[in-house]
Amino acid sequence: MSLEDNYLITVGLEVHTELRTKTKLFCGCANEFGAEPNTNTCPVCLGLPGSLPVVNRKAVEYAMRIGTALNCEIKHSVFHRKNYFYPDMPKDYQVTQYDEPTCINGYIELPITGKVVNIVRAHIEEDTGKSTHIGTSGRITGADYSLVDYNRSGIPLVEIVSAPDMVSGEEAREYVSELRSILVATGATDGKMEEGSLRVDANVSVRKVGTDELGTRCEIKNLNSLRSLVRAITYEARRQMEIVDGGGKVTQETRHWNEDLGRTSSLRSKEEAYDYRYFPEPDLSPLDPSVEEIEAIKANLGALPPKRRAALVELVGDSPSKSEIEQIQTVINFDLDDLIFAGIEKGVPAKLSLARCANEVAGLITGLDESYLVPSEKLLEVLVKESLGELTPTQSKAVLARVVADRAIDVAALIAELGFVASSSDEMDSLVGEIIAESPSEWERYLSGEDQLAGFFVGKAMKKSGGKANGKLVSKSLNDRRSQIQG
Amino acid sequence: MSDAQFVEMSAVDIAAGVRSGAFSAVEVVTAHLKQIESYDHEVKAFVTQMSDRALEAARAVDEKRARGEELGALAGVPVALKDNMAYRGVETTCSSKILRGWIPPYTATVVERLEAAGAIAIGKTNLDEFAMGSSTENSAFFPTRNPIDLNRVPGGSSGGSAASVAARFAPIAIGSDTGGSIRQPASLCGVVGVKPTYGLVSRYGLIAFASSLDQIGPFARSVEDSSLVLDVISGHDERDSTSLSGRSYDHQASDGGIEGLRVGVITEMMDGLSDSVNKALAQAIESLRSMGALVDEVSVPAAKFGLTAYYLIAPAEASSNLARFDGVRYGLRVEGKDMNETYELTRGQGFGPEVKRRIMLGTYALSAGYYDALYGKAQKVRTLIANDFDAAYSNYDVLISATSPTVAFEFNAKSDPLSMYMSDVCTIPSNLAGHPAMSVPFAGDEDGLPIGIQVLAPSFGESVMFKVASALEAAAKYRAVPQWASTEK
Amino acid sequence: MSNDDISIETTRHIAYLARLALDESEVREYAGQLSAILEHAEDIASLDLDGVAPMRHTLSVVNIMRDDEVRPSLDREEVLASAPDAQASMFLVPKIVGEE
Ligand SMILES: [Zn+2]
């Protein structure tokens, strides 16, 4: 029995998402990624003496959209100051929300496992600047000095705090993945983990199987990808299990995930009682959205991933397989569900377009520029041809790849160029005739009801035609012949 | 027109003269710069003088007139600015070592509005470091002396601004008032000082002491001038979330009488006054009655807790507002072995004792385990005070009290922080409630030291407040004169 | 609120939270003065304020917001001119130890 079998893991996540506003939370500086250092700064976001904040209306609207999408109540809220010293925080306090956040008590349902994860709160706060640590190691511990850029200072964030409802790194990954697709669907954020616009801190604790009380938790920072998230949680849980199993006690602390070393390490060298001395920010007014505003946000939100997923599940049938659920999730993450519905109208079976979209198209558009527009009409044309048997699956996949790569391409001309002109039914029928003549015993067995032998004939047809035979037409020919014989 | 006449002239008259072409802005500014040159080495009202800029600005006003362009309400009027307001390109220090040398890249809204009206900034005035104090002795650079008696303090924290008006360095000045920092020095220097309703004047560019209490206001030698300046600086500013839209103050000639006005004298502020102040208050009551006002004593019971609430709330907010002075982006840095030590050394050496004391007190009041008993409770007391004022204003149009329990005191007279804090006992409640209040010079003690009467009004009650202040001004038989101009001394 | 004097140890902790380097005499002085001031604050400790709402602000306004429109930022050279130390157009600070 492994150590893992004796322990239960508890994970709660704090996800920070940058909002896609034009300007920062409290000033008119541009909210953009990758600008020259300290060019998007002003008295407010530099914390210059005498400057004052004014809240960005769009940021509040986005926060309310996010809250609504996460099934939260939208409340009267108050900004607070969280006081602590750090060079990338220009006022040496962060304006955030404390005991009266904008969004509380929501939940999301995980798509694959169906588990419900509760959202404790989602609140608005300002981002900090960025420190670069200069020194031999490039890491904070070995740095000689640091350089601070305040372009990111004051960018609006929403922090989404989950309940400690998850039990593994994999579940945490599923949560973040689903959360991300919901956030992107609201239009409030671009959800790019690689650019830091989605950042995750994980609270991890372990307890012995059979006990109820949660163990002491550690907070892991610097989780920049879903892969890091899973690895860090798994590592940290194992570390804590080893401590507890050895009779030790886990210290509550903040730990840093090192992706290269694959381990977490303690961040705070000084034992300081964290006393953030929160108090209501006197420079800002409370937020108090009206019922009408909240209703309007709800009404304008559009279909969110859970609803879109349910619609696809219905298309596929009553009890979709695990791989189909995963395909549905992918299709939603890549916004391809409209294509599937359009396919239905043109007679393309849902399962076929689901498989092609999730397994082919999603992969093909990964990594393309954000502004890339999926050539839905042309992709649909290909799927229609495949469903009619005019393209084999192999051919269809090849054509899809070319269409994605070149949106302007003419599908019919491409098929001709590739020589994927389907053999006619007559040609196919005579080919089947030849094969039957060559394989009488297999034909007998097929006639006597061994349906699986259809595969044998299709394989032969492929071989004889140099891959151009259409499996569907071969099957049809076999079936027609048997029906005729058996009357 | 002689220099002596220019420096005695009111802002209203200067602006009228410059607009009509009776004299030039350059003449006005030159006369005031000479007055500064003659006497500021004794008064020490200014941390930074802006002579060259002032002359240049005066020339610009005169040229504007020559081109036939319309001039503003304060055309050619010199104004002294408390050195806690940002002015682009001019060192702004808060009279603190930690900020010495800082050149702001932007200008405070109030200053922009003054300059847009044609006013001419002539210098940045001394204050108690970060506006924390009641004597200007807490300036990290030097104390300012009271022009009426150079052996005494001018009050504070806006002591430099009050002194500059009393010394005729400028007809008007701008200060900030968190617990009495405009009204108390106005009283001690014998000038008018106004703390407007919270939210009436933009705080953008005012280096914050306690954000929920700070308010910018004018000093002048007449109620009319102070009213004109408030008209210019008030009104909504989109850069300050606490500046109210749809609210501004309109200056009008305060000729309306006070006949039939109901005036309450605050009982809780009658204790602990010096004899001369007590006598002046009694005279003020008599004067108001003789002009037809209905004057009675009224109790504002919670006002007696004002001092306690203030000395928890203001330091708490200050401890957070002053965190940014950390040696990273501007101001002093005292390098340590790492960032944390750099913070500690910079702040330990950059701040003076009173600032450190208040940061300590405020940090304590907000810290875990004490928040509810200290900061939380003080905020509830604030509600009580506002409620008690509301009750009083249901029966009275304005309230009055002495501004300060004493006349100007000598240097180093109040070395114990608590006794210094008591100077603000009459002024603090208005800040806690957010109400307007002003000090108007009314009498002199036996030594000729000025005594101010405070007029308090409900939120946005500036008009009635100015009306009563004008009545007191008209009844006053006293006029503060600088020591060097006084024949008795 | 308690009658207990503020200890030297508490004073040191508060000074650390506020990042103020104090020498020993300052620590003793502030410990005494804070105690005296807080003793004075006893007058509100005895008040029964259970039903009273804290006044967070004298203004009763809500939803003061601005539109999401870009305004010019400051000139970077002017900003960096105030910096005690700068490098590569960034603010240079001593090494950051231990903290996050
Ligand atoms: Zn900015």
Residues A61-70: tens digit of each pLDDT: 999 999 999 9
Answer for the pair A469, A422: CB distance below 8 angstroms, yes or no.
no
My answer on whether A110 and A237 are in the same domain is: yes
User: What spacing in Å lies between the alpha carbon of B388 and ligand 1's midpoint?
Assistant: 41
pLDDT, residue A407, reads 87
Reply yes or no on whether the pLDDT at A141 is more than 70.
no
My answer on whether A239 and A261 are in the same domain is: yes
pLDDT, residue C3, reads 42
pLDDT, residue B306, reads 95
Residue of B nearest to C98 (CA): B340
pLDDT for A32-90, tens place per residue?
Answer: 999 999 999 999 999 999 999 999 999 999 999 999 999 999 999 999 999 999 999 99
Answer for the pair B441, B221: CB distance below 8 angstroms, yes or no.
no
User: What spacing in Å lies between the alpha carbon of A29 and ligand 1's midpoint?
Assistant: 4
Answer for the pair B302, B386: CB distance below 8 angstroms, yes or no.
no
User: What spacing in Å lies between the alpha carbon of A166 and ligand 1's midpoint?
Assistant: 38
β-pair partners for B455: B400, B438
My answer on whether A211 and A83 are in the same domain is: yes
User: Tokens 């000090």 identify what position?
Assistant: B439
Nearest to C20 among B344, B373, B418 (CB): B344
Provide the CATH topology of domain B3-302+387-488. Amidase signature (AS) enzymes (3.90.1300)
Reply yes or no on whether the pLDDT at A396 is more than 70.
yes
Rounded percentage of chain A residues whose pLDDT exceeds 90: 53
Residue of A nearest to B238 (CA): A54
* Mean per-residue pLDDT, A434-440: 87
Task: Tell me how far apart the alpha carbons of residues B152 and B135 are, in angstroms, rounded to a whole number.
Answer: 9
Identify the CATH number of the domain in which residue A462 sits: 1.10.10
Instruction: Name the band, by pLDDT with cuts 50, 70 and 90, for residue A149.
Output: very high
- Cis ω on the peptide bond leading into residue B157 (within 30° of 0)? yes
Beta carbons of B240 and A54 less than 8 Å apart: yes
Would an 8 Å CB–CB cutoff place C65 in contact with chain A? yes
My answer on whether A27 and A168 are in the same domain is: yes
Torsion of CA A427, A430, A432, A433, to 10 degrees: 180
User: What spacing in Å lies between the alpha carbon of A156 and ligand 1's midpoint?
Assistant: 12
Q: Output the average pLDDT for chain A.
A: 90
My answer on whether A455 and A387 are in the same domain is: no
Write down which residue in A422, A443, A473 finishes a domain. Answer: A422
Using a CB-CB cut-off of 8 Å, the residues of chain A touching B320 are 81, 83, 93, 277, 279
My answer on whether A127 and A9 are in the same domain is: yes
Using a CB-CB cut-off of 8 Å, the residues of chain B touching A52 are 203-204, 239-242
Residue of A nearest to B365 (CA): A277
β-pair partners for A205: A10
Q: Measured between CA atoms, how close is B125 to chain C, in angstroms?
A: 22
My answer on whether A291 and A341 are in the same domain is: no
pLDDT, residue A138, reads 57
Q: What stretch of H or E contains A74?
A: strand A73-74
My answer on whether A221 and A232 are in the same domain is: yes
My answer on whether A159 and A271 are in the same domain is: yes
Using a CB-CB cut-off of 8 Å, the residues of chain C touching B371 are none
| Residue A468, domain extent | 424-486
User: Tokens 């002093």 identify what position?
Assistant: B332
Residue of B nearest to A280 (CA): B317
Write down which residue in A375, A399, A422 finishes a domain. Answer: A422
Q: What is the pTM of this model?
A: 0.89
Reply yes or no on whether the pLDDT at A143 is more than 80.
no
Alpha-carbon separation of residue A253 from A220, A249, B254 (angstroms): 9, 12, 65
For testing the chain A interface, which of B112, B215, B329 should be mutated: the one with the most A CBs within 10 Å? B329
Q: Residue C97's closest CA among A223, B319, A83, A131?
A: A131
Reply yes or no on whether the pLDDT at A284 is more than 80.
yes
Beta carbons of C34 and B361 less than 8 Å apart: yes
Using a CB-CB cut-off of 8 Å, the residues of chain A touching B367 are 275, 277
Strands A79-83 and A93-97, how do they pair? antiparallel
My answer on whether A230 and A356 are in the same domain is: no
Q: Measured between CA atoms, how close is B382 to chain C, in angstroms?
A: 6
Would an 8 Å CB–CB cutoff place C1 in contact with chain B? yes
Instruction: Name the band, by pLDDT with cuts 50, 70 and 90, for residue A224.
Output: confident
Using a CB-CB cut-off of 8 Å, the residues of chain A touching C100 are 86, 221, 254, 267-268
Using a CB-CB cut-off of 8 Å, the residues of chain C touching B359 are 18, 20
Answer for the pair B362, B317: CB distance below 8 angstroms, yes or no.
yes
pLDDT, residue C4, reads 56
The b/e string for A241-275 (b: 16+ C-beta within 10 A; e otherwise) is bebbeeeeebeeebbbbeeeeebbeebeeeeeeeb
Backbone φ and ψ of B139, nearest 5°: -60, 135
pLDDT, residue A369, reads 79
SS3 content of chain B, % helix, strand, coil (to 5): 45, 15, 45
**pLDDT < 70 regions, chain B:** 253-255, 487-489
pLDDT for C65-94, tens place per residue?
Answer: 999 999 999 999 999 999 999 999 999 999
Distance of CA A443 to the CA centre of its chain: 50
Name the least confident of A260-274, A357-371, B142-156, C9-23. Answer: A260-274
Task: Tell me how far apart the alpha carbons of residues B161 and B99 are, in angstroms, rounded to a whole number.
Answer: 19
My answer on whether A232 and A86 are in the same domain is: yes
Sign of CA dihedral A289, A291, A295, A296: negative
Residue B130, sorted as left (phi over 0), alpha (psi -120 to 50) or beta, turns out to be: left
Give me the residue spans of the domains in chain B: 3-302+387-488
- Tally of CB atoms within 10 A around A178: 22
Beta carbons of A57 and C66 less than 8 Å apart: yes
DSSP string, B90-109: S---TT-TTTTT---SS--H
Q: Which chains touch B (3 or more CB pairs under 8 A)?
A: A, C
Rounded percentage of chain A residues whose pLDDT exceeds 70: 96
Alpha-carbon separation of residue A144 from A138, A260, A299 (angstroms): 9, 21, 53
DSSP string, B268-328: GGSTT--HHHHHHHHHHHHHHHHTT-EEEEE--GGGGGHHHHHHHHHHHHHHHHGGG-SSS
Q: What stretch of H or E contains B441?
A: strand B437-444
Beta carbons of C65 and A57 less than 8 Å apart: yes
pLDDT, residue A486, reads 77
Nearest to A287 among C17, C62, C67 (CB): C62
SS (H, E, C) chain C: CCCCCCCHHHHHHHHHHCCCCCCHHHHHHHHHHHHHHHHHCHHHHCCCCCCCCCCCCCCCCCCCEECCCCCCCCCHHHHHHCCCCEECCEEEEECCCCCC
Instruction: Name the band, by pLDDT with cuts 50, 70 and 90, for residue C99.
Output: very low
User: What spacing in Å lies between the alpha carbon of A65 and ligand 1's midpoint?
Assistant: 24
User: What spacing in Å lies between the alpha carbon of A157 and ligand 1's midpoint?
Assistant: 15
Number of A/B CB contacts below 8 angstroms equals 104
Backbone φ and ψ of B240, nearest 5°: -125, 110
Whole-number CA gyration radius for chain B: 21
Would an 8 Å CB–CB cutoff place C22 in contact with chain A? no
- The answer for A 253-272 residues in CB contact with B (under 8 A) is 270
Torsion of CA B347, B350, B354, B358, to 10 degrees: -20
User: What spacing in Å lies between the alpha carbon of B214 and ligand 1's midpoint?
Assistant: 23
Domain count, chain A: 3
Residues whose CB falls within 8 Å of the CB of residue A393, separated by 6 or more in sequence, listed in order: A386
Task: Tell me how far apart the alpha carbons of residues B183 and B193 are, in angstroms, rounded to a whole number.
Answer: 5
My answer on whether A287 and A429 are in the same domain is: no
Give the type of residue at A276: Y
Residue of B nearest to A82 (CA): B320
Using a CB-CB cut-off of 8 Å, the residues of chain A touching B92 are 49
Answer for the pair B455, B440: CB distance below 8 angstroms, yes or no.
yes
Reply yes or no on whether the pLDDT at C100 is more than 60.
no
Residue of B nearest to C37 (CA): B418
